């Protein structure tokens, strides 16, 4: 508990070859799980908890793909204005002092901020090759929210605006935004899923 770990900016080189092949099955599994759970007849019966981390890993991989594509863009790929994003670094001393509700609210607020920022990015970018990456990223955020609902995490009511929200900062470039997105998924979102009570019951 005394050691402090942080997730800083993602500076890893993109992994190719074997990693891409290894992720192909989890990609299909992720899509199937989401589709089956969200289209299951008989709703509003509770969704079965989606605790398999391969689902989240699929979203993280696609977030990295979008980041790599943005870094290679040379024209028509900028933000029209700065946007508010969540702090993506994880201070474990602070995180572990929060209760489950506080952690969930922090993650849900961050996902909402990212969705707003990515929607603005979509309207700012004129490079059509990037549109599919951004559209897919926004869809994945909605799917992550569905995963959180399956874990019995309370529905999130977004604020009227991002003004005054704690634990945020502003970025002015598309590359920074997508880097924050990747790190937020692999940090706080992953921790929330790992520690979810529904998943503890699922593996016990």
Least confident window among 16-20, 52-56, 68-72, 75-79: 16-20
pLDDT band at residue 36 under the 50/70/90 scheme? low
pLDDT given for residue 106 in this prediction: 94
Instruction: Inform me whether the pLDDT recorded for 136 exceeds 80.
Output: yes
Reported confidence tier of residue 88, pLDDT bands at 50, 70, 90: very high
91-107 confidence digits (pLDDT tens): 999 999 999 999 999 99
In angstroms, the CA 124 to CA 187 distance is 27
- Three-state SS at 86: strand
Name the DSSP class of 50: -
Residue with the bigger pLDDT between 28 and 77: it is: 77
Q: Is the pLDDT of residue 145 over 70?
A: yes
| DSSP element (H, E) containing 44 | none
3-class state of residue 72 by DSSP: coil
Q: Give pLDDT, residue 167.
A: 83
Q: Are 125 and 174 in contact (CB under 8 A)?
A: yes
Using alpha carbons, list the distances in angstroms from residue 38 to 14, 33, 48, 57, 95.
31, 8, 10, 19, 30
Enter the pTM of the model. 0.78
């Amino acid at each position: 508990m005394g050691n402090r770990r942080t997730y800083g900016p993602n500076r890893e080189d993109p992994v190719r070859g074997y990693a891409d092949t290894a992720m192909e099955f989890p990609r299909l599994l992720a899509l199937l799980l989401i589709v089956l759970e969200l289209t299951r007849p008989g709703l509003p019966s509770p969704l079965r908890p989606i605790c398999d981390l391969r689902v989240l890993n699929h979203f993280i991989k696609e977030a990295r793909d979008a980041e790599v594509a943005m870094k290679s863009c040379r024209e028509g790929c900028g933000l029209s204005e700065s946007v508010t994003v969540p702090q993506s670094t994880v201070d474990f001393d602070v995180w572990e002092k929060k209760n489950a509700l506080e952690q969930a609210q922090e993650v849900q607020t961050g996902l909402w901020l990212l969705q707003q920022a990515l929607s603005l990015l979509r309207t700012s970018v004129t490079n059509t090759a990037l549109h599919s990456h951004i559209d897919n990223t926004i869809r994945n955020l909605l799917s992550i929210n569905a995963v959180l609902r399956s874990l019995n995490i309370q529905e999130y009511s977004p604020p009227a605006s991002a003004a005054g929200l704690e634990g945020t900062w502003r970025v002015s470039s598309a590359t920074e935004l997508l880097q924050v997105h990747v790190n937020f998924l692999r940090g706080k979102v992953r921790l929330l899923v790992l520690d979810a009570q529904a998943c503890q019951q699922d593996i016990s």
